[in-house]
Structure 1
Amino acid sequence: MDPSKDEIQTEGGLIENLSTEQNSRCESPKRGTTLSTSTSSFEALDPHDPNLSRLANTMFQKTGEYLQEELTATHADYRLLERLNKETIAKYTELKIISSNVVQSLDSLNDKYKKLQPILDNINQIDDSVSKLEQAAYKLAAYSKRLEAKFKDLEKDTKNK
């Protein structure tokens, strides 16, 4: 029972159709273009290179360590910011207390000044009066000197005559 040429061609065509159909379903970046959005070049039925698997595992481990350290650093940054915020709140609270005390002191001083204002006004009036009196005394002293000088001149004139 030798197969005829027609049967062989038919079987060959079926095999070719099957392989084309299988290729179109299983196309990957290794075999050609695909509509899949996956970027993996691994195929489920392909044997894996142990070196490539080891390198991939190392890469994933290192990436995990890197991400863990990034998260740890970010967490440390947030803890530092939290501590800085607490210190800032404490400092502003302290400054608020100090400014509150300064306001109270200023209010007290303003009240004392208002109570002393009439006395200070009186002192200013006395000072003005003393200044006027001093000017009058200087004028009187100058007038006295002129009078004395005239009197001496008159005395000399009367003695000379």
Structure 2
Amino acid sequence: MTPREFTTKYYPFAFQTQQKTGISALFIIAQAAIETGWGKSSPGNMFFGIKDTDGINGNEQLLRTTEVLKNPDVKFPQVISVKKRPDGKYDYVVKDWFRKYDTPEGSFTDHAAFFYTYNRYRNALDVKEDPYRFAEEIAAAGYATATNYASELKKVIKMVEGYLK
């Protein structure tokens, strides 16, 4: 699926979520694009990489992921490798529990609820209509461990804007 096809197929879910929550559909679809590689990897209709903290609810899946963390001894269900980076942080390749969904719509709805559930995203919700500022705020709040997460999101938001014109 091309980036344009991904945007066309999944933007309606992002727009429905925007109507329900006020969070920019441009941000939502851009984040889904990054988290899935433009739809190349969305097992269990997982579009946002939301972790399931305990893996015992029956609505989760154990998947391989990469994390950038400050400590060399963080616990995961399965650690594949840990390598120290020049900046003093550690690149982890692990298997961890992630939420799964029956439909794409379930993933998009849960994604928005996630931001409203956790207090650390309060500043992001203050700018939820602005996809670029929202991207900066969720990154600052620790949504992802990638150090360039906000800048990557903003690049994709700009691409999506072009596809929707």
Instruction: Quickly name the TM-score band, shorter chain normalised.
Output: under 0.3
Q: Which protein is richer in helix relative to its size?
A: 1
> Relative contact order: is structure 1 or structure 2 higher (C-alpha 8 Å, sep ≥ 6)?
2
Q: Which protein is richer in strand relative to its size?
A: 2
**TM-score, structure 1 length as denominator?**
0.16
**TM-score, structure 2 length as denominator?**
0.15
Bigger Rg, structure 1 or 2: 1
